[in-house]
């Protein structure tokens, strides 16, 4: 019985697939693809631009500690017609992206709620009491 159901489902799937249009991804022309290999000092750069608005620009050099230092940017069009833009630095301090689209941590110092300040004060007073009585933190 299970075999008959499997065959029926297979034939239904083939019939539906036969009616579905074949979707070919659009062909995107490459407008610019320049890559310059590193020179004797490790300097290099790369520029890429596609017809659909995607752009990537990278420049790099040899770092003082032997690693590579790279700066660059990339962008692509968004559905609303605006452009997503990113800049970055990658060096001995790690990868550091920058964009209006990336989340940002709240500015510090932010207001600390009073109940938190009360708990901090309570803990300070408790530590002082324990120190006066010669008790450890676990007691």
Return d(Cα 96, Cα 101) in angstroms, integer: 14
8 Å CB contact between 51 and 63? no
Contact by Cβ (8 Å): 95, 102: no
What does pTM read for this prediction? 0.57
Q: Peptide bond preceding 51: is omega within 30 degrees of 0, i.e. cis?
A: no
What confidence score (pLDDT) does residue 134 get? 81
What percent of the chain stands above pLDDT 70? 84
Average pLDDT for 95-105 = 91
Q: What pLDDT was estimated at residue 114?
A: 93
User: What is the secondary structure of 40-99 as a DSSP string?
Assistant: TT--EEEEEEETTS-EEEEEEEE-TTSSEEEEEEEEEE-TTS-EEEEEEEEETTEEEEE-
* 17-75 confidence digits (pLDDT tens): 666 677 788 899 999 999 888 888 888 899 999 999 999 999 998 887 777 899 999 99
Compute the chain's Rg from CA coordinates.
30
Contact 78, 84 (CB under 8 A): yes
Q: Where are the domains of the chain?
A: 25-98
Across 105-131, average pLDDT: 89
Mean local confidence (pLDDT), 67-86: 93
């Amino acid at each position: 019985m299970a075999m008959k159901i499997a065959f029926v489902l297979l034939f239904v799937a083939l019939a539906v697939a036969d009616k579905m249009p074949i979707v070919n991804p659009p062909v995107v022309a490459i407008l610019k693809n320049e890559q310059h290999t590193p020179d004797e000092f490790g300097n290099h750069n790369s520029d890429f631009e596609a017809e659909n608005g995607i752009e990537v620009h990278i420049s790099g050099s040899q770092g003082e500690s032997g690693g590579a230092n790279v700066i660059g940017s990339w962008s692509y069009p968004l559905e609303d017609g605006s452009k997503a833009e990113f800049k970055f630095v990658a060096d001995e301090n790690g990868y550091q992206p920058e964009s209006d689209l990336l989340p940002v941590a709240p500015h510090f110092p932010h207001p600390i709620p009073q109940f938190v300040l009360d708990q901090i004060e309570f803990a300070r007073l408790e530590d002082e009491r324990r120190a006066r009585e010669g008790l450890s933190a676990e007691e």
